[in-house]
Copies of this chain bind each other. A is one copy, B any other.
Amino acid sequence: MPDTPITDQFYLDLVGSFFNLKWQIMAEGLKHDLGGMQALTLLMLNELTPRSMKELCNTLHCDASNVTGIIDGLEQRGLVERRNDPSDRRIKTLHILPAGKELQQQILDQLVRGSKAFLAPLTDSEMTQFVSIVQKLATNRP
């Protein structure tokens, strides 16, 4: 048994923090006339390991048709490109274009800047713990 009881309030705090983080990300996307999910999705793409629509579905925990619409928006803005996978012609792989890469970096920078204030109350020691914990959680996707 952990010596710290996990209260309902802990979960509510977790949810509250989610709103805060989401807001940090949206802000920069908004300046560039991107929807919130478009901004988040752009963050989740990288040029090294192009992902299929299906993979993105799993990351975003949302419906396939939903991802179609989000990628449509990013593609119309010239940020991302669908390509056919030669090894399996059902699959479309997603490739981030130069303009997308540039905007992605801006959104990430904003997230980092915005999170500074959010994470400011943590001590160095807590920050180290937090980084380690988040990494552990991120590699465990139920």
Give residues in A with beta carbon < 8 Å to B: 1-4, 6, 8-23, 25, 40, 43-44, 59-61, 108, 111-112, 114-115, 117-122, 124, 126-138, 140-142
Contact = CB atoms under 8 A, between A and B. Distances in A.
Given A3-B124, A9-B135, A19-B40, 8 more contacts: A12-B44, A14-B115, A15-B40, A15-B111, A16-B59, A19-B61, A114-B142, A121-B137
B13 A127 contact: no
B128 A4 contact: yes
Given A11-B108, A11-B115, A43-B15, A133 B140 contact: no
- Copies of this protein in the assembly total 2
B131 A4 contact: yes
A128 B1 CA distance: 11
B59 A44 contact: no
Given A126-B129, A131-B4, A18 B21 contact: yes
